[in-house]
Amino acid sequence: MPDIDLGDIRRVRANALDLLSYQTTDIEAFFNSQDFLTFRRLPQQSSKRGDVKVTSSCSCLMSLALSKQFRAFNKHNESTKKAAKRAFQRIYNASWRSSGLGLNNAFSTTMVIRTFGLLVEAGILAPSLAATQKRNYSPLGRVTLNDIAKWLACDIKRFGINKYPPSAALVYWFVDGVVRGKIPLGAGQWRLICNWARHEFNKQRSLVVAQHEALMDPIAMAMAACLCARLRKVAYAGNISGIAACLQLLPSSIELEHGIDVLFSKQGPSGIWPKYFPLFHYPKAGSNYCFTFEMLEAVLSEFGHTESQLLATPVMVRKLESALNWCVKNRLKFPANRKIYWGWNSGGELDSLNAEQPESWATAVAHMFLWELQHMLAVNTQAILLREYKATPAVSNRNSWTRLLDVNVHLQGSSSTTTVKTVLEAQLIRPALNYKAFSGEKIDGRVSALLFGPPGTSKTQIANSLAATLGWPVVLIDPSQFLSKGIEHIYSRATEIFRDLQDLSAVVILFDEMDALVRTRDGQRIDLTSQFLTTSMLPKLASLHNQASLVFLFATNYQNEFDPAIKRPGRFDVLLCMGPSSWREKLKHIDRFLPADTEEAAIKYVKKKLLGLSKDLKAINRKLLNLLTFQETQNYLESLAAPDVSVVEAILIINAGEFEKRLASFCHYITLRSDGDTYKRYIEDLKESRLQ
């Protein structure tokens, strides 16, 4: 990644989030007060029952859907999801016109399709609605949204409006809605769109690069680049019939990124771009241009991902900050109807612009830009931090959890015994499975666990397997990071570390061996670090918990040496004593203790032999097998081998007496020997497991 300052990214993101925090109040001010479902365009427009401003309402719904901020409906409806559905239904059943444009014009139709797609992605609408809900649509008759989309995609000329030719912006919004809404198009339709997109991008880029002042349109070039980029993603995904063959029709990623680079070279000093050619003309409202923030929202969506580093450079961040500053400086305040309206005006209509009235659709679009901007910066911040903390990369592997040895555990308040894997799967994994990083939502469930127990009981492996099941990266935090600048700076380092952690999302964090900070050293307890946990760590853990954007585990061998405050609710949702796996569980996964090349038949023989040997042991020695940690089990089995006899052979030939004798001797040195302090602590810890 290019050398980019984390402080700059955080500053720009904080400013974007500050403006974005007004999104719901900005948009809800434009509610049609007759239904509180649809939206007016301007503050002074009256609310009329049955008067649905289709494109303005679509823009507001799309903005709320993108950032999943439907709480704007909370004041007037019990269920925000139900209200959003009703809002779309009101739009769907309305007359699709806009400021004098003809009935069922391509612009209004495309806005409805894109709104549908964003609502599907937000979990508000089901994709099946597009195949079942019918409406009258000339010239097709009574058809579904799927039928309308397929009809449009059969002829690019159908995206033209009045005498204006099809625009890349309109086709991009259409494709965006189709993809998000899972509306099926045929291979021929995709091929047609790809072919047109290639020609449109090449034409617009050649005019801009040639500095053809009379005909060039950098905004149109950027929207064509976004369209091609989206089509490339669809082609690479390969889950749409026939689309993969279209990849060869599209410009390369290098060509597209060059187009966006050229676009930013045309940015005005104010942070936005001049108006070039209109998309079309409203008979009743004048020309409709692609608003700067409509274009930037698309650019951020298509080129702000981690695979492309185009926007993650100091120069590009400054240019995006310049656009953000335009939003700060040009945020309008307008009193009307006994309330204050805040937002932005696109400049497409002089009367409202001169009156400094915000427009609902321009306000909604600006907030979509702000959401995409902060999201892009958040993703890049995380990429930087994961490298800085040397995180284990995300690898999706459900088998890792299956192969993990389980541990029996008895939860307080329960009459039955369960297992560590069962508890963690139900309490941490399932709630987080469908969580998307930086989605604007919180994980709907428990997010933290305190894992305690003797050394060698797979606490670290639990974290790695849990992360692999979720497909998330793992960040390891240990005492050395808090003490990296010396013990005198432990508090400031804690502040730095937790600020970094709060910038992460969809990550598993393991605080490992944190008891080292409060254990006795050289016979003296270090008061500074003893107090550190309660005065600094616990409040920060509570903040991380409340954020609910990641899962964190706190692993310790000596939980009884911590202040009791650590076990209060609000820091850890689950408290689990991690003991060694039972002998039965070890036998179930006996292949984990044998050489990797051991044949399946030999594994079965070993399992059967060890089961028989353990049945012949005295009760006290059978108990020892249950107390062996994972590593100790492996060490014991390996100790049975000889220079000329493999582990597998040694197990198969050993008799019960020798097996018991070797086990009794080996167990004088195990972690949980019955005469040791660790065993006594473990017995006490067994009573501490619970759900908070």
pLDDT average, residue stretch 279-300? 93
pLDDT average, residue stretch 285-305? 93
Instruction: State whether 231 and 370 are in the same domain.
Output: yes
pLDDT average, residue stretch 195-217? 96
Yes or no: say if 402 and 327 are a contact pair by the CB < 8 Å rule: no
Is residue 69 pLDDT above 90, yes or no?
A: no
Does this model's pTM top 0.95? no
For residue 409, which phi and psi values (nearest 5 degrees)? -150, 145
At residue 341, the pLDDT reads: 97
pLDDT, tens digit, for every residue of 80-117?
788 899 999 999 999 999 888 999 999 999 999 999 99
Q: Is the peptide bond prior to 2 cis by the omega test (within 30 degrees of 0)?
A: no
Instruction: State whether 552 and 422 are in the same domain.
Output: yes
Yes or no: say if 39 and 32 are a contact pair by the CB < 8 Å rule: yes
Does any domain span residue 403?
Answer: yes
Does any domain span residue 1?
Answer: no
CA pair distance 646, 498, nearest whole angstrom: 49
At residue 532, the pLDDT reads: 66
pLDDT average, residue stretch 194-201? 96
Instruction: State whether 319 and 422 are in the same domain.
Output: no
In b/e form, how buried is each residue of 332-349, taking b as 16+ CB within 10 angstroms?
Answer: bebeeeeeebbbbbbbbb
Is residue 386 pLDDT above 60, yes or no?
A: yes
Instruction: State whether 136 and 205 are in the same domain.
Output: yes
Q: How big is the chain, counted in residues?
A: 692
User: Which regions of 240-389 does DSSP assign to beta strands (E)?
Assistant: 280-282, 286-288, 332-336, 339-343
Does any domain span residue 679?
Answer: no
SS3 sequence of 380-439: HHHHHHHHHCCCECCCCCHHHHHHCCCCEECCCCCCCCEEHHHHHHHHHHHHHCCCCCCC
Instruction: State whether 56 and 109 are in the same domain.
Output: yes
Q: Which domain holds residue 467?
A: 389-580+684-691
Q: What six digits make up the tokens of 95?
A: 């007359």
Final residue of a structural domain among 387, 409, 441: 387
Residue 128 maps to which CATH number?
A: 1.50.10
pLDDT, tens digit, for every residue of 492-530?
898 999 999 999 999 999 999 877 665 433 434 445 555
Instruction: State whether 370 and 410 are in the same domain.
Output: no
CA pair distance 8, 1, nearest whole angstrom: 15
Across 422-426, 481-485, 515-519, which has the greatest mean pLDDT? Answer: 422-426
Name the DSSP letter for residue 349. Answer: S
Number of Cα atoms under 13 Å in the Cβ half of residue 317:
24
Instruction: State whether 418 and 439 are in the same domain.
Output: yes
pLDDT, tens digit, for every residue of 115-166?
999 999 999 999 999 999 999 999 999 999 999 999 999 999 999 998 899 9
At residue 519, the pLDDT reads: 47
**Number of domains comprising the chain:** 3
pLDDT average, residue stretch 417-434? 94
Bridging pattern class, strands 286-288 and 508-512? unpaired
Average pLDDT of every residue of the chain: 90
pLDDT average, residue stretch 341-349? 94
Instruction: State whether 497 and 559 are in the same domain.
Output: yes
pLDDT, tens digit, for every residue of 596-627?
899 999 999 999 999 999 988 888 888 899 99
3-state secondary structure (DSSP) of residue 477? strand
At residue 533, the pLDDT reads: 63
pLDDT-derived band at 74 (thresholds 50, 70, 90) equals low
CA-nearest of 184, 174, 181, 383 to 298 is 174
Is residue 566 pLDDT above 90, yes or no?
A: no
Instruction: State whether 233 and 86 are in the same domain.
Output: yes
CA-nearest of 370, 200, 357 to 294 is 370
CA pair distance 684, 579, nearest whole angstrom: 12
CA pair distance 433, 443, nearest whole angstrom: 9
pLDDT average, residue stretch 36-65? 93
pLDDT, tens digit, for every residue of 431-478?
999 899 998 889 999 999 999 888 888 888 999 999 999 999 999 999
Yes or no: say if 219 and 279 are a contact pair by the CB < 8 Å rule: no
Instruction: State whether 273 and 400 are in the same domain.
Output: no
Instruction: State whether 541 and 613 are in the same domain.
Output: no
CA pair distance 345, 354, nearest whole angstrom: 10
Listed range (342-356, 448-462, 553-567) with the worst mean pLDDT: 553-567
36 torsion bin: left (phi>0), alpha (psi -120 to 50), beta (else): left
Does any domain span residue 434?
Answer: yes
At residue 243, the pLDDT reads: 72
pLDDT average, residue stretch 345-363? 94
At residue 524, the pLDDT reads: 43
Is residue 377 pLDDT above 50, yes or no?
A: yes
Is residue 3 pLDDT above 80, yes or no?
A: no
Bridging pattern class, strands 339-343 and 332-336? antiparallel
pLDDT-derived band at 309 (thresholds 50, 70, 90) equals confident
Position 654, amino acid: I
Alpha-carbon torsion (589, 595, 599, 604), positive or negative? negative
